[in-house]
Amino acid sequence: MADRKSRSPTIIDIAAAAGVSKSTAARALSNAPNVAEASRKRVLEIAEAYGYERNHLARSLRSGRTGMIGLVIPDLANPFWAEVARGAQDEAARRGASLLVFSSDWNADREAQHLRALRQARVDGAIINPVADGSDDIHRAGLPMVLIGSSAERFAQLSSVGSNIAQGVAIGLNRLAEFGHLQPALLLGPPNRLARVRFQRVVHDHCVARGIDPATLPVEEGDYTVESGRRAMIRLIGRAEQPVRCVFAANDLMALGAILALRDLGLRCPQDVSVLGFDGIPAGAYAAPGLTTVAKPARAIGTEGMALLTEAIDGTLDHRRVLLDCHFVERGSLARPDHAGLPPEMRNDHAA
C-alpha cells in the first residue's frame, strides 16, 4: 500500500490492514451483526486512521436508498421554521441521514418546483408544510411523506405532526383573562391560512363561553412578519373607538412589530398596551420588554416529523396525526389594564 497516501483508501485497504476479509470489513463498517467485536473494533480504528469514507452511491444502488431527506418549509427566514428545521436535521443526523432544506416562501408554484427537485434527487422521503389547498403535487409526489403544520389538515390521508393550536390559543386567552384582559384586540394572519381559521375558532368559543360578542374584538391582519405587525398595530390604534389595552398576535414576529409600533406612537408596553405573542421564538426574550408568548414546540415538530418519516420509509408507519402541546412563557409584555384608559389624542392622531 505504498501509494495509499496518493489516493482515497478503499475497503480492500481497510480489510488488509485489519487482517480480515473484505466482507467482514463491510459488515463491521455498516454495523451489521455476525462480526466479532474485536474485529469490528479493529476495522473501525483502521477506517478512522485512514480517513476512509464509505461509497454512499454504491450503497444506495444496493439498498435503493440515498440517505437523503427533503424538508420543505414556508419561510426559512422565520425563526420558528428555522427551529423546526433544526429539529429535523438533528434527528436525521442521529439516524445517519442528511437533510435537503427548501423554502417555498408561501408560494405554491415554488413548492411544486421543490417537490420535483426532490424527486429528481431520489430522496428517500420528504417532510413538508404544504402551502397550497388540494395541491396535486402533494398527491403525485411519489415519495414517503409526512406533513407538518396546520395546513396538514387538508390532507387527511397523510400522517402529520403539528402544534396543538386550539390548546395554545386557549392558554393565551385564559391567561389574558387572568390579567383582566377579557376582550383583547387580535393581530391575525392572512385570511386564506388555515391557522387563522383555527385561531379565530378558539377565540369565538372563548368569547361565547364568557358572554362576550366575538364581533366586538378589534381585528387587524398582517402576513406574519415584523413589519406587517407594526403596520397592523398602527392601524389598530388609529381606528379604535375604545382604548386598546391588550393585543394578542397570531405569531411572535407580528407581536414584536406591535411593540415597535407602540414605541413609535409614544405608548408604553405593557403599561399602556399589553402584547401577547404566539410561537416562542428565541428573539422574543431579547425584546424590550421581553415578549410574553405561547410557545409552540417547534424543534419537537421537526424531530417527531423525522421520526414518523423514518417509519414511513421503512413501511411501518400507521397513519396518525400528532399534535404537540404548547406552553406559556411569561416575560414582561403583559400587565393589568389601567382603568383610566388612554387619552383620545394618543389614539386618533397616529392613523396609518
For 120-178, how does the pLDDT look when each residue is reduced to its tens digit (9 = 90+)?
A: 888 999 999 988 655 556 666 678 899 998 877 788 888 999 999 999 999 999 999 99
DSSP helix/strand/coil, 151: helix
* pTM beyond 0.85: no
Overall fold of domain 165-297+329-348: Rossmann fold (3.40.50)
pLDDT at position 310 is 92
pLDDT at position 12 is 87
How far apart CA 242 and CA 244 sit, in angstroms, is: 6
CA angle, 86 then 88 then 92, to 5°: 115
For 188-237, how does the pLDDT look when each residue is reduced to its tens digit (9 = 90+)?
A: 998 877 888 889 999 999 999 999 999 999 999 999 999 999 999 999 99
Cβ atoms of residues 98 and 69 within 8 Å: yes
Q: Which residues pair with 292 in a beta bridge?
A: 276
The region of weakest confidence among 57-66, 283-292, 322-331 is: 57-66
pLDDT over threshold 50, residue 61: no
**How does residue 34 score in pLDDT terms, banded at 50, 70 and 90?**
confident
Strand order, beta sheet including 274-279: 219-221, 185-188, 246-249, 274-279, 292-295, 327-329
- DSSP class of 281: -
The region of weakest confidence among 116-120, 177-181, 257-261, 301-305 is: 116-120
Burial class (CB within 10 angstroms; exposed 0-12, middle 13-18, buried 19+) of 178: exposed
CATH class of the structural domain 66-162+298-324: alpha beta
Residue 6 in grid coordinates: 496518493
Residue type, 113: Q
How far apart CA 49 and CA 63 sit, in angstroms, is: 27
pLDDT at position 350 is 36
pLDDT at position 184 is 95
Residue 131 in grid coordinates: 402551502
> Which residue, 149, 138, 120, 129, is CA-closest to 72?
129
Residue 349 in grid coordinates: 392622531
pLDDT at position 23 is 85
Question: C-alpha distances in angstroms, 130 versus 22, 105, 161, 258, 266?
Answer: 46, 11, 12, 28, 40
> Which residue, 283, 259, 285, is CA-closest to 273?
259
Question: C-alpha distances in angstroms, 69 versus 108, 307, 310?
Answer: 20, 12, 10
How far apart CA 126 and CA 284 sit, in angstroms, is: 30
**How does residue 274 score in pLDDT terms, banded at 50, 70 and 90?**
very high
> Which residue, 294, 301, 296, is CA-closest to 161?
301
User: Radius of gyration of the chain from Cα atoms?
Assistant: 26
SS (H, E, C) 116-168: HHHHHCCCCEEEECCCCCCCHHHHHCCCCEEEECHHHHHCCCCCEEEECHHHH
Task: Please check whether the domain covering 4-54 is classified as CATH 3.90.550.10.
Answer: no
Residue 89 in grid coordinates: 436535521
pLDDT at position 343 is 43
Is 66-162+298-324's fold the same as 165-297+329-348's?
A: yes
Q: Which residues pair with 298 in a beta bridge?
A: none
Q: In the predicted model, what is the mean pLDDT of residues 291-311?
A: 96
Q: Domains of the chain: which residue ranges? A: 4-54, 66-162+298-324, 165-297+329-348
pLDDT at position 142 is 76
Task: List phi, psi (to 5°) of 335.
Answer: -150, 160
How far apart CA 325 and CA 323 sit, in angstroms, is: 7
In the chain, DSSP finds a helix count (H) and a strand count (E) of: 13, 12
What is the average pLDDT value for the chain, to the nearest integer? 86
Cα dihedral across residues 264, 199, 300, 117: positive or negative: negative
pLDDT at position 351 is 34
- DSSP class of 291: P
pLDDT at position 306 is 95
For 88-108, how does the pLDDT look when each residue is reduced to its tens digit (9 = 90+)?
A: 999 999 988 999 999 999 888
